[in-house]
């Protein structure tokens, strides 16, 4: 049985592979969730744009993200001059990308759902357009 950390790392590697296949350079930032400094899971660029990505997987139809996770992503992206994105992998679906402002804000968290993905989510090709 694969543990959650390994599942997340594998998902990040899958996304990096997809970015490289689309002529983007990308790196996984190991330990990003446990660092005392703000850092995304994946950092990617194509010479014109830089994107900082927080990657999540879920076996459900929704995923909650803590306010701290979102705050850390915003801080890093702002300091680095990158766009901040949330990448979410639902079971049996391709990666779906959300801008932070498109997430549903809750009292103590943010929510990304399959329902919201159908309205506001973008696929990989859509976010990689210049």
CA 106, 15, 33, 80 torsion-angle sign: negative
Question: Model confidence over 54-64: pLDDT tens digits?
Answer: 999 999 999 99
Q: Beta strands 83-89 and 95-99: pairing type?
A: antiparallel
Question: Model confidence over 67-105: pLDDT tens digits?
Answer: 999 999 999 999 999 999 999 999 899 999 999 999 999
**Which 3 state secondary structure label does DSSP give 53?**
strand
Eight-class DSSP state of 80: H
Active site residue 32: yes
CA 71 to mean position of chain CA atoms: 13
In the chain the domains, ranked by start, together with CATH numbers, are 4-128 (3.40.1350.10)
Question: Looking at 25, 32, 71, 113, which residue is catalytic?
Answer: 32
């Amino acid at each position: 049985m694969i543990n959650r950390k390994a599942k997340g790392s594998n998902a990040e590697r899958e996304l990096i592979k997809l970015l490289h296949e689309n002529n983007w350079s990308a790196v996984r930032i190991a330990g990003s969730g446990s660092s005392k400094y703000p850092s995304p899971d994946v950092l990617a660029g194509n010479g014109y744009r830089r994107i900082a990505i927080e990657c999540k997987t879920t076996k459900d139809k929704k995923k909650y993200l803590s306010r701290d996770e979102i705050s850390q992503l915003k801080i890093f992206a702002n300091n680095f001059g990158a766009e901040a994105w949330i990448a979410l992998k639902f079971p049996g679906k391709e990666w779906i990308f959300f801008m932070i402002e498109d997430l549903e804000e809750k009292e103590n968290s943010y929510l990304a759902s399959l329902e919201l993905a159908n309205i506001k989510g973008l696929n990989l090709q859509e976010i990689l357009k210049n």
